[in-house]
Amino acid sequence: MALRQALGRGARLGRGLLWRWLGGAPPPPAPPKPAAFLARRPQQPPPARPGFLREAAARLGLTGGPPSPGLLLFRQMAPRVPLGPRRLGLAFGLGLALLEPALAEQRQASEACKGIQTIFIQRNKPQKEPLGLFRQQGFKLEEYSIGRSIGKGCSAAVYEATTPFAMPHKASSEPKADHFDHYDGSDAQTGGGKLCQVGCWRTGFPLAIKMMWNISAGSSSEGILNSMSQELVPASGSALSGEFGAITPPRQLVFGKKRLKPHPNIVQVLRAFTSHVPLLPGATVDYPDVLPSTLNPSGIGHSRTLFLVMKNYPCTLRQYLCDRSPAAHLGTMMILQLLEGVDHLVRHGVAHRDLKSDNILVEFDAAGCPGLVISDFGCCLADKTIGLKLPFTSWYVDRGGNGCLMAPEVVTATPGPGVVIDYSKADTWAVGAMAYEILGAHNPFYGKGGAALESRSYQDKDLPPLPDTVPLEVRKLVGLLLRRDPAKRLSARVAANILHLSLWGGDTLSLEDLRPAKMVGWLLHQSLATLLTDRFGDGSKVETTLKRCFLANLEYEDLFEAAALLHSWRSIVS
The answer to whether residue 425 is domain-embedded is: no
- Name the band, by pLDDT with cuts 50, 70 and 90, for residue 241: confident
Number of structural domains the chain divides into: 2
The answer to whether residue 168 is domain-embedded is: yes
Within this chain, do residues 97 and 181 fall inside the same structural domain, yes or no?
Answer: no
Last residue of a domain, one of 267, 297, 313: 313
Within this chain, do residues 15 and 68 fall inside the same structural domain, yes or no?
Answer: yes
Q: How far is it, in rounded angstroms, from Cα 193 to Cα 152?
A: 7
Within this chain, do residues 119 and 158 fall inside the same structural domain, yes or no?
Answer: no
The answer to whether residue 458 is domain-embedded is: no
The answer to whether residue 529 is domain-embedded is: no
Going by C-alpha positions, the residue among 484, 560, 472 that lies closest to residue 516 is 560
In this prediction, residues 249-254 reach a mean pLDDT of 48
The answer to whether residue 7 is domain-embedded is: yes
Helices within 412-491 (DSSP H only): 426-438, 472-481
Within this chain, do residues 224 and 266 fall inside the same structural domain, yes or no?
Answer: yes
Could you count the other beta carbons within 10 Å of the beta carbon of residue 547?
Answer: 23
Percent of the chain past pLDDT 70, that is, above it, reads: 68
Evaluate whether 423 touches 411 at the Cβ level (below 8 Å). Answer: no
Evaluate whether 241 touches 248 at the Cβ level (below 8 Å). Answer: yes
Within this chain, do residues 92 and 151 fall inside the same structural domain, yes or no?
Answer: no
Residues 57-86 pLDDT 10s: 444 344 455 554 444 444 554 454 454 554
Q: How many CA atoms lie within 13 A of 8 on its CB side?
A: 9
Within this chain, do residues 283 and 243 fall inside the same structural domain, yes or no?
Answer: yes
Question: Which amino acid belongs to residue 351?
Answer: A
Within this chain, do residues 217 and 109 fall inside the same structural domain, yes or no?
Answer: no
Last residue of a domain, one of 97, 123, 149: 123
In this prediction, residues 125-149 reach a mean pLDDT of 75
Last residue of a domain, one of 279, 313, 347: 313
Residues 11-66 pLDDT 10s: 555 555 444 544 455 555 555 555 544 444 444 544 444 444 344 444 434 445 55
The answer to whether residue 99 is domain-embedded is: yes
440, 446, 450, 455 alpha-carbon torsion, rounded to 10°: 110
Angstrom distances, CA of residue 388 to CA of 258, 331, 345: 11, 29, 10
Catalytic residue numbers, as ranges: 354
What is residue 18's predicted lDDT score, i.e. its pLDDT?
45
Residues 97-111 pLDDT 10s: 555 566 666 777 778
Tell me the whole-structure pTM to 2 decimals: 0.77
Within this chain, do residues 92 and 234 fall inside the same structural domain, yes or no?
Answer: no
Average pLDDT, the chain: 78
Print the domain residue range for 109. Answer: 2-123
Report helix, strand or coil for 147. Answer: strand
Within this chain, do residues 185 and 271 fall inside the same structural domain, yes or no?
Answer: yes
The answer to whether residue 285 is domain-embedded is: yes
Which of 154-168, 479-493, 494-508 has the highest average model confidence (pLDDT)?
A: 479-493
The answer to whether residue 200 is domain-embedded is: yes
Which of 321-330, 424-433, 528-537 has the highest average model confidence (pLDDT)?
A: 424-433
Could you count the other beta carbons within 10 Å of the beta carbon of residue 269?
Answer: 21
What is residue 362's predicted lDDT score, i.e. its pLDDT?
95
What is residue 257's predicted lDDT score, i.e. its pLDDT?
81
Within this chain, do residues 169 and 202 fall inside the same structural domain, yes or no?
Answer: yes
Within this chain, do residues 115 and 14 fall inside the same structural domain, yes or no?
Answer: yes
What is residue 85's predicted lDDT score, i.e. its pLDDT?
52
Within this chain, do residues 253 and 151 fall inside the same structural domain, yes or no?
Answer: yes
